[in-house]
Every structure is written in structure tokens, then in C-alpha cells.
Amino acid sequence: MSTEIWDATNKLDSWIERNGWAGYDPYDIKELPTVIKITELGNRNLFFTLVRECVFEIFYSFPTISREILGVKRSINPKGMGLLAKAYLNLYQIIKDEKYLNKSKECLKWLELNCSQGYAGKCWGYPFNWQSKEFIPKGTPSGVVTSIVGESFWSFYNVTKRKEYLEDCKSICKFLMNNLNLHKIDNTHICFSYTPITHDHIHNANLLVAEFLMKIGTETNNQEYIDCALKAMNYSLSYQNQDGSFYYIGPPDIVKHWIDHYHTGFVIRSLYSIFKITRDKDLLIKLKKCYEHYVTNFFKNNVIPKFQPNRIYPIDIHSCSEAIICLSELSEKFSEGRELAKNVANWTIDNMQDKEGHFYHAKRKSRFTQQIFTAKIPYMRWGQAWMLLALSTLLNSLNCGES
């Protein structure tokens, strides 16, 4: 087991323990009414698109000062709590220290007490308003947040075999099946929406839901869940690009030719998770094609995670963490990924971890000056929770690989 990676994990865990669960988020400042209005106008007006990008660039360049001036408060993010719960469970599995099991359980307890209300089952959203194509009010549950949180309950059930956590998973499936909008393309292709109030077609969101339904459907012999999972997977696979990649958005939405690091990682991991259950050979062929495109195009010198295939900056902590998780999890099938995961982890520790233990947000190129600078704000959900999960996943992979 890597001493450097283990030390970095302990430093991060200690920082989280000292600072608590609440923190800033890249999107919290964007819930301010003026910013939401600019974002909305920017979706349909070129002038306001430029205004929006200038405002966002100021937020990116001066993240802490901007939040202090505008009075943005730190908050606890349900997605962050789900990630932490899974990370602590990973650490427990590595060294069998009960303190990590208790930390994981404490995160799950918070999640139990902070569900979104008024839906068919347990679900969670973000603790701030946000503007996409539609305005999404604070607390609106999403398939992404709920599936990621659900993964932590599912993992805790698998480790402890306590049935109440499986009941939580079954409740989550009720939300996914009954409250997300479902577009039935034909008898074998469907797509789950991002939230109950949107009708979008986003591959990583659709596949995260499919993955979770497949796991719980298989465990509980619920054929309806399994069938829906396979149909949702069919939808996304039908729009895989010739080079193996996936655009962020699929038809019939207006497809923007957008491919980025962390959403690609989400897609790969969900497809791999479904493959481990189905053992479908055609799925494996498509998964391998996407994975090969990913490792070939998303890393500079087999070390630094690029934001997009043709764009290095920003070197975002979310890309770093997703690279480590994706490569570590798929090293079961593609063992060469474990070494690349170690390279990324060591580079991230050396270049993005503060001496206090937290990780910086990103290395960015200023649109104003073209100079490279480091945005050092320690976002809780976006950075710390994802990195604790990433490092614990890699340590688990290294532990299995060495045994």
C-alpha cells in the first residue's frame, strides 16, 4: 500500500473532521437572484451570454472573496454526504477500524434525516437553487444525487448485511421509477430525466439511474427494475460516438458536442457496473471502446487529467478524483489502469493538496490574462468528498491488487 497516498488520505480526513461537513460549492454563488436572471437570459441572448461568462470568470478567479462579499453561506450537500459515507466504508474495509464504519453510519444517518419531502420514495437534491434550461429550486431531488447517495446505502448494506439499508435502497428505487420523467422512445429504449421537473436526456444521469435499478432489481428479483435499467442503457449506448465517446446530452435534445472528463468517467463506471451483473459481451465491446478513448485522450503524459480531449485547463479537482476512481474501479478488468490511477493520485497530491490537508479547486487559465493560476478554495462536495472517495477507492484497489 502506498504510504504517500495513505498519508494524504489521513490528512484530508483530519481536515474534514476539523472543519465539519458544511462548505462552499461551485454552484452555491450561482443561486443569487441576479446571477440566476443573468444565467436565464444568457441561455437565449448572446449579449447576456457574454455577461454571464464574465461574471462567472470573476467568481472562478476570486471564489472566496466573491462569496464573502455576496454573503454566500456554507451548507451541507447531500451528494457530499453520500460520497463521504462510501469513502469511510472503503477505509473500514481496508483496515477494519470501527471508527470509519461509525463515520460512514453517521453520514447515512444525516441523509436519513434530510430527505427531500413529498415524493414516492427517499431522494435528495442540492441545497441551493440553480438555473439550467429550467429553474431548479433548492432541494429538488435529482437522479444523479439520489443514485450516488443510494450507492452509499447499497454499499453499507453489502458490508453489514443489515436489512434496513436494503429497505432504504428499495425506497430510493420508488422515487427513481415514479418521480423522474421517463421518455419512452420505443419498446427497448427509454431515458430517465435529471429531475422530476425536467425532460432532458443526459447520458451520465440516465446511466446512474439504470445502474442503481439494475443492482437493486437483481438483489430483490424485481424484473421491472432490471428491464428499465436495460432499456435506459440501450438508449445511451445507441448514441455512442464512433470513437467510443459519449456527448453529455443525447437526442432529441439539441446535442452540444460536449465531452468532458468527469462525465465520461461516470458513464464508463455505470456501464462497467451493469456489465459486472449482466456479463453481456456486446456491452463489454462498447465499454472497452469508450474506456480506450478515455485513457488515450483525457491524460497529458499519462499523468495529468485533461478537462476535455483537446483542452487541458481547467485541471479540475473533480476530473482528478474521477480519474482515480474510474481507473481504480476498472482495474479489475483493465489492470493497466491501476498504474495510471497512481500517477494521477501522486500528481494531485503533489500539486493540489494543501499542507492543511484539503485539496484545491483547480488550476485555471484566466480568460482575461491567459495566465495559469490555482483556485485554492476548498469546495466540500466538489473537492474534498470526491477526493476522499477517490483516494480510498485507489487504496482499496491497491490492497486487492497486492493481496
Which domains are present in the chain? 3-27+76-402 (1.50.10.20)
Question: Is the pLDDT score of 164 beyond 50?
Answer: yes
pLDDT in the model for residue 133:
78
pLDDT greater than 60 at residue 20? yes
- Which pTM value belongs to this model? 0.95
Q: What is the mean pLDDT of residues 365-385?
A: 92
- Predicted confidence (pLDDT) at residue 51 exceeds the cutoff of 50: yes
One-letter amino acid at 20 equals G
Predicted pLDDT of residue 341:
98
CA pair distance 89, 98, nearest whole angstrom: 10
- Is the pLDDT assigned to residue 398 strictly greater than 70? yes
Instruction: Give percent of the chain with pLDDT exceeding 70.
Output: 99
Residue 403 burial (CB count, 10 A): 5
pLDDT above 90 as % of the chain = 86
Interval 228-246 mean pLDDT: 98
Span 220-231, average pLDDT: 98
Q: What is the predicted pLDDT for the residue at 131?
A: 80
pLDDT-derived band at 256 (thresholds 50, 70, 90) equals: confident
- The pLDDT of residue 57 is 85
Average pLDDT (201-224) is: 98
Average pLDDT, stretch 176-191? 98
The yes-or-no verdict on residue 402 having pLDDT over 60 is: no
In this model, does residue 331 exceed pLDDT 70?
A: yes
pLDDT average, residue stretch 207-233:
98
Cβ-Cβ contacts under 8 Å for 87 (sequence gap 6 or more): 385, 388, 389, 391, 392, 393
Grade residue 348 by pLDDT with cuts at 50, 70 and 90: very high
pLDDT band at 403 (very low <50, low <70, confident <90, very high): very low
Q: Mean per-residue pLDDT for 274-292?
A: 98
Nearest-angstrom CA–CA distance, 392 and 329: 11
